[in-house]
Amino acid sequence: MPPKTSVLNMDIRTTRLENGVVVATESLPTVRSASLGVYLDIGSRDEAAATNGLAHLFEHMVFKGTPKHGSLEIVKCFEATGGQINAYTSKEQTCFYAKVVDTEVNAGLSMLLEMVLESTFDPVELEKEKDVIIEEIKGGNDNPEDYIYDLFSQAFFDKHSLGYPIAGDEKTVKGLTRQHLLDHQRKAARNLPVFVTAVGRVSHDEVVAITRKAFGLAGKGGKAAGKLPNDFAAVRAGAFVRKTTPRPGAKLRPRHMVEKRPVQQVTALLGGPGYAWAHDNRYALLLLNTILGDGMSSKLFQSVREALGLVYTIYSSPDFMINAGVYAIGFATEPKDIGKAVKEISKQLTLLKKEGLKKDEMDFAKANLRGSILLGLESTNTRMANLSRQLMYGEKGESIEKILHRLDQVSSADVKRAIKDTFRAERWSSAAILPKKANLSMGRLLDF
């Protein structure tokens, strides 16, 4: 008989400091490591068109030095004892994270916060790093498997900021200045929702104390955060109300974008509106996705690849954001097979609309997701990312039992509702990168 999941739920504590910063920890006293994160609730969707790429540039530049430590010292602070440090920028957040041995928690977290709050953005290093990012952009644009996501975002979101490339483009990156970075840093220190998280062999009180010191807060103030509302900025004092671009849901008008290049295959991404993070039927869409296109046993993989041999890989995925969601299917195939591939995808979606998921498919999907969640608990990095995501999207640190219970409670009717809401060809957009001599009208091919 498998062990009860309750033994895997350790001590999760959250504290909101008086400046609005939230500190969250999960204590795992049996491990000898800790995963640390500093999350800024800002990404490319919060940028103006002229400064697109600023959050990504900021992510790069905080590694270049502070008044106290140079760039090599920053990296060595983590790597000298076998630790790791990294960062990423998404459409909605910027994250700086590290994994360290338990003896280096205080030093590692102090360095992460110093990087974010005190980096000097040396002008010489800035110009060099802008060149590096432009090369990164060019490299991504040269790779159809990478660039298809930017092209699809343009098709799906049109001129809404969710359609902006996360790294910006060559023109916007060149136009970014040191003052832009300093203003962005000041916003992080004073205005943005900021989440500091630590999972592993950590002391909540020590993490709070380090965070307070980094933000220049005196004393030992702060209170248990409890459940954090979706509009976290609304609970702030006036001085800390978020000043970034509002986050409305995009006005969705189906668009089908094609770009021709000297390539051999067609790389395509097609999709439509999904659910936002807070939607009450989100778990049903996760279960549906498990059966449709997540893994080698999925309907799309078994039909489009295994039965028909039209693709090497094919997948589907939901993206849950604030006030917006996308459900997409991606694949690559020969130009002569694009019609067959889309026809088979449409066939599978039509069958789902007609039949829903059978009981054995529901059971499989629930067992699959349950196992994925439990396996993820063995990684402090995964636990930290999950805890941070829940807090940023307005949920308190949920117990594993509650998450698994929500999955178990999904019914066939819930999945049928997700199918009805999501699989509507008239609302789907697409992006495709084609060989120069190929032609494609994706909008006409979609039929479900």
Does the pLDDT value for residue 227 go beyond 70?
no
- Identity of the amino acid at 66: T
* pLDDT tens track for 152-192: 999 999 989 999 999 999 999 999 999 999 999 998 888 88
Token pair, residue 408, equals: 């178990």
- Is the pLDDT at 326 greater than 50? The verdict is yes
Q: Read off the amino acid at residue 362.
A: M
> Residue 70 gets which letter from DSSP?
B
3-state secondary structure of 260: strand
Catalytic residues: 59
With 0-12 CB in 10 A as exposed, 13-18 as middle and 19+ as buried, what is 404? middle
pLDDT at 5 over 50: no
Lowest model confidence (mean pLDDT) among 137-141, 143-147, 216-220, 292-296: 216-220
* Rg of the chain, C-alpha, whole Å: 23
Task: Decide if pLDDT at 138 tops 60.
Answer: yes
Q: How confident is the model at residue 242 (pLDDT cuts 50, 70, 90)?
A: very low
- Is the pLDDT confidence value at 65 over 80? yes
Q: How far apart are CA 258 and CA 273, in angstroms?
A: 20
DSSP secondary structure code for residue 229 in this structure: P
Kindly state the percentage of the chain with pLDDT values over 70.
Answer: 90
* pLDDT value, residue 390: 87
Check for a shared fold between 9-240 and 256-445.
Answer: yes
Pairing of strands 22-27, 11-16: antiparallel
Which has the minimum average pLDDT: 2-16, 327-341, 342-356?
A: 2-16
**In what order do the strands lie in the sheet containing 314-321?**
256-261, 429-435, 266-273, 324-333, 314-321
Strands (DSSP E) contained in 147-209 are 194-200
In this model, does residue 96 exceed pLDDT 70? Answer: yes
Residue 330 has pLDDT above 50, yes or no: yes
Mean pLDDT over 374-400 rounds to 87
List the chain domain ranges.
Answer: 9-240, 256-445
pLDDT band for position 239 (50/70/90)? Answer: very low
Instruction: Provide the terminal-to-terminal Cα distance of the chain, rounded to the nearest Å.
Output: 43
* Phi, psi angle pair for 104, to nearest 5°: -110, 15
Q: Tell me which architecture the domain covering 256-445 has in CATH.
A: 2-Layer Sandwich (3.30)
- Tell which phi-psi region holds residue 82, choosing left (phi > 0), alpha (psi between -120 and 50) or beta: left
Residue % of the chain over a pLDDT of 90 = 83
| β-bridge mates for residue 333, sequence order | 266
User: Of the ranges 221-235, 332-346, 403-417, which one carries the lowest mean pLDDT score?
Assistant: 221-235
In the chain, count H helices and then E strands: 16, 12
Amino acid identity at 27 = S
Decide the pairing of beta strands 33-40 and 94-101: antiparallel
> Hey, which CATH number is domain 9-240, 3.50.50.60, 3.60.20.10, 3.30.830.10, 3.30.1510.10?
3.30.830.10
